[in-house]
């Protein structure tokens, strides 16, 4: 009996030690959060935590806490968005907390959002894992007076205030034609290496590219072929080789897919045809850095996720301050990005995609 009790005590102690170890960590972030408590609804804070004092209801900029919620953590794309958001937060003198679930899963994201809503954050900037499943949660937040802005991946309109659109299909198509035009010095044969023949995004962009090529400025460019690498590395590589063999005078390959552009650049490099055939399209800096520096793909484009995070924070800031309500037609200033207007469909357009080349690629890490 005595031994049983002893065991019981030891077991309890062990568990408590482990738990306390867990709480040690809790102390650091919470204290930070507690020094800048969301000021709303102070009447409810009866069991105030140690550092908190009754705060005036007036919301000073320093008290604003915005949560930036990516699809999941550990993704350089979202980390870059966070860098942009932190830059905006520093400019505005507010706090942005970067909070994500460990997997890109709606169930987990909803749990996380519920804990953020419970903490009465001042705004939510979300990249949604499921446009529909997050609607009730977004509505809960808005009902509690928390602005909901989505970026990168939207919640359906009824579950958010504003969505920030990274680019339009037309804008994505245009930037790629412009790059091809530059790389071909205004004239020559170009070809497109796409994902699958049924990929809706790529097909929409290619449709716009074909229209843009009809414009007088681009009459020198001749689109000789469109091939499909199915977003598989090896197939894309072989399709790129095929293009170079079939069209000896080919000057530019446009690959509007991150798999295709890297495979094409590698094919050009392996064939020793750097400078004769140039690759451009949509890619990410980390994946394309090598080919930009070797000259196989001197420039390519993508929206800058850092700007997305930056703009999301500015949008929410103005909503919290009451400058705008998130209604179509609202205009606001977004620091280094300039002025923005909320469009009729409740979205904001980030702007033209960013072009990456040898001069700026080392500024990016995603």
- Residues of this chain that bind other proteins (CB under 8 A): 3-4, 7-8, 11-12, 14-19, 21-30, 33, 37, 44-45, 47-49, 52, 73, 97, 99-103, 105-108, 110-112, 114-120, 130-133, 135-136, 140, 156
Q: How far is the CB of 230 from other proteins (least distance, A)?
A: 17
Strand 250-255 vs strand 188-194: parallel, antiparallel, or unpaired?
parallel
Residue closer to other proteins, measured from CB, 49 or 328: 49
Q: How many Å apart are CA 227 and CA 165, to the nearest integer?
A: 28
Residue closer to other proteins, measured from CB, 145 or 328: 145
Task: Give the residue from 231, 229, 223 showing the smallest Cα distance to 252.
Answer: 223
Q: How far is the CB of 33 from other proteins (least distance, A)?
A: 6
Reported in sequence order, the residue ranges of 195-298 that DSSP labels E, i.e. its strands, are: 221-228, 250-255, 278-281
Task: Tell me if 71 sits within 8 A of 79, measured CB to CB.
Answer: no
Q: How many Å apart are CA 178 and CA 182, to the nearest integer?
A: 6
Q: How many Å apart are CA 196 and CA 179, to the nearest integer?
A: 23
Q: How many Å apart are CA 329 and CA 71, to the nearest integer?
A: 29
Residue closer to other proteins, measured from CB, 188 or 309: 309
Q: How far is the CB of 137 from other proteins (least distance, A)?
A: 9
Q: How many Å apart are CA 252 and CA 257, to the nearest integer?
A: 15
Q: How far is the CB of 317 from other proteins (least distance, A)?
A: 20
Q: How far is the CB of 29 from other proteins (least distance, A)?
A: 5
In sequence order, what are the residues at sequence separation of 6 or more whose Cβ sits closer than 8 angstroms to the Cβ of residue 215? Answer: none
Q: How far is the CB of 76 from other proteins (least distance, A)?
A: 15
- Report the residue count for the chain: 366
H-helix segments, 247-284: 258-270
Residue closer to other proteins, measured from CB, 5 or 214: 5
Task: Tell me if 183 sits within 8 A of 291, measured CB to CB.
Answer: no
Residue closer to other proteins, measured from CB, 200 or 329: 200
Chain Cα centroid distance, residue 55: 35
Task: Tell me if 65 sits within 8 A of 97, measured CB to CB.
Answer: yes
Strand 123-126 vs strand 221-228: parallel, antiparallel, or unpaired?
unpaired
Q: How far is the CB of 73 from other proteins (least distance, A)?
A: 6
Q: How far is the CB of 357 from other proteins (least distance, A)?
A: 31
Q: How far is the CB of 26 from other proteins (least distance, A)?
A: 4
Residue closer to other proteins, measured from CB, 66 or 209: 66
Q: How many Å apart are CA 305 and CA 165, to the nearest integer?
A: 11
Residue closer to other proteins, measured from CB, 53 or 185: 53
Task: Give the residue from 143, 162, 164, 144 showing the smallest Cα distance to 152.
Answer: 164
Residue closer to other proteins, measured from CB, 119 or 294: 119
Residue closer to other proteins, measured from CB, 70 or 171: 70
Dihedral sign for Cα atoms in the order 85, 170, 356, 341: negative
């Amino acid at each position: 009996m005595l031994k049983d009790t002893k065991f019981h005590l030891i077991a309890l102690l062990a568990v408590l030690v482990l738990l306390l170890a867990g709480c040690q960590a809790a102390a650091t972030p919470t204290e930070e959060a507690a020094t800048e408590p969301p000021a709303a609804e102070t009447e409810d804070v009866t069991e105030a935590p140690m550092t908190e004092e009754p705060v005036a209801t007036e919301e000073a900029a320093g008290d604003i806490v915005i949560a930036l919620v990516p699809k999941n953590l550990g993704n350089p794309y979202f980390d870059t968005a966070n860098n942009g958001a932190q830059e905006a937060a520093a400019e505005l003198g507010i706090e942005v907390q970067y909070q994500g679930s460990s997997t890109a899963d709606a169930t987990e994201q909803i749990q996380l959002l519920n804990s953020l809503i419970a903490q009465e954050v001042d705004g939510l900037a979300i990249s949604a894992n499921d446009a529909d499943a997050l609607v009730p949660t977004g509505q809960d937040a808005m009902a509690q007076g928390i602005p909901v802005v989505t970026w990168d991946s939207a919640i359906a309109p009824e579950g958010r205030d504003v969505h920030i659109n990274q680019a339009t299909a037309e804008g994505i198509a245009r930037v790629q034609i412009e790059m091809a035009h530059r790389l071909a010095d205004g004239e020559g044969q170009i070809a497109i290496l796409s994902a699958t023949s049924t990929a809706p995004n790529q097909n929409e962009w290619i449709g716009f590219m074909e229209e843009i090529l009809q414009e007088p400025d681009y009459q020198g460019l001749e689109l000789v072929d469109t091939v499909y690498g199915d977003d598989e590395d090896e197939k894309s590589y072989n399709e790129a080789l095929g293009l170079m063999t079939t069209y000896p005078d080919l000057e530019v390959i446009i690959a509007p897919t991150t798999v295709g552009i890297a495979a094409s650049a590698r094919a050009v490099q392996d064939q020793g045809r750097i400078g004769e055939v140039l690759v451009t399209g949509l890619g990410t800096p980390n994946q394309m850095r090598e080919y930009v520096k070797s000259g196989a793909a001197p420039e390519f484009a993508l929206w800058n996720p850092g700007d997305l995070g930056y703009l999301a924070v500015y949008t929410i800031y103005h909503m919290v301050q009451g400058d705008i309500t998130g209604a179509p037609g609202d205009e606001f200033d977004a620091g280094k990005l300039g002025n923005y207007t909320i469009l009729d469909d409740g979205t904001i357009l980030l702007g033209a995609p960013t072009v990456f080349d040898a001069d700026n690629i080392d500024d990016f890490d995603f």
